[in-house]
A and B are shown apart, each in its own frame.
Chain A
Amino acid sequence: MNLQFVLNGKPWRVECEAQETLAEVLRNTLNLNGTKVSCEVQVCGACTVLVDGAPVSACTYLAYEARGKNVTTIEGLEKPDGTLDPLQQAFIDEFAFQCGFCTPGMIMSAKALLDENPAPTRAEIIHYMDGNICRCTGYVPIVAAIQRAAQAMGKETKK
């Protein structure tokens, strides 16, 4: 099947099979390995990418469903000049990851949250992020990183 979509701001046309998931096309066809696959049943959030701004689990989302849509992956957050997204920087500053396997999905979910709600409370962060599992950090620094990024982005818009 012919699949056309916009990936990280660039139009793409790739061949895919009907049963292929978006994670498979990203990882196997396009060699974009930032999107990680873990539970494969939409429970852990490691494979989270944004489709038209909404977080989806790429492990179970059929690639063909993305036709004509805007897909953003972890590789799409860094600006061409190397500037990191405020969330990426906040994850570094708060030591919000260890092994890093959940991190791309974690950051993409957090991005969807902040796009929707730029100043979430702690309770809102916990509620929104509940679909992402991290086994290393105990979540404490991740909550701090999201709060820090929200603050940084708030300052940025006020400038």
Chain B
Amino acid sequence: MKAAVIQFPGSNCDLDMLNALQLFGVEAQIVSHKATSLAGYDAIFLPGGFSFGDYLRCGAIARFSPIMTAVTTAAAAGKLIVGVCNGFQILTEAGLLPGQLMMNETPGFICAEVPITVINQQSQFTNQYQQATITLPVAHGEGRYYADEATIAQLEANHQVIFRYQTNVNGSAEQIAGIVNEKGNVLGMMPHPERAVEAIIGNIDGQDFFRSILN
């Protein structure tokens, strides 16, 4: 598998993502947000961080980066697109995923390891998880998933909710921590699987996420 990790000005989880992908043998490369082609890549990762300083709204400026046209084309072509944290925010602003990430219910930055339920173990991103409860790091000030009731109902009915917080750390609608699009090839999640792939740092619950993508 060949993967692109998009680097926006203000990305800060790009190298973690690159490292995690390379640990699993993926031929991964950093691609600038100014690039205009993603030809030849099987999977595209939008990493965490504070693209463009989170000015206006998280992800609102990054969605207009030149690379986003190629990301949209790749999504339409069925390539795997993964947005983690700020990447999730960019995907919603770009309209590639429904809803929006808003300021945490209790204002403030949350940095913690939290229990998460893998709701859908059939997805292209979770099919290697044997257990439903995992622990993943979260690090965000604006991670409260919001969508109107009709959209939430649609997400639930189509099994597009992939991850849920066991304790609602940020006030997300239906405790949603990660969703996919209707086709199932675009994933957005606030928790950081790329920070949980090495035993030496105390958590390997992100490993099955990468194994699922490679499966």
A and B co-occur in one complex:
no
Give the interface of B toward A (CB within 8 A). none
Residues of A within 8 A of B (CB): none
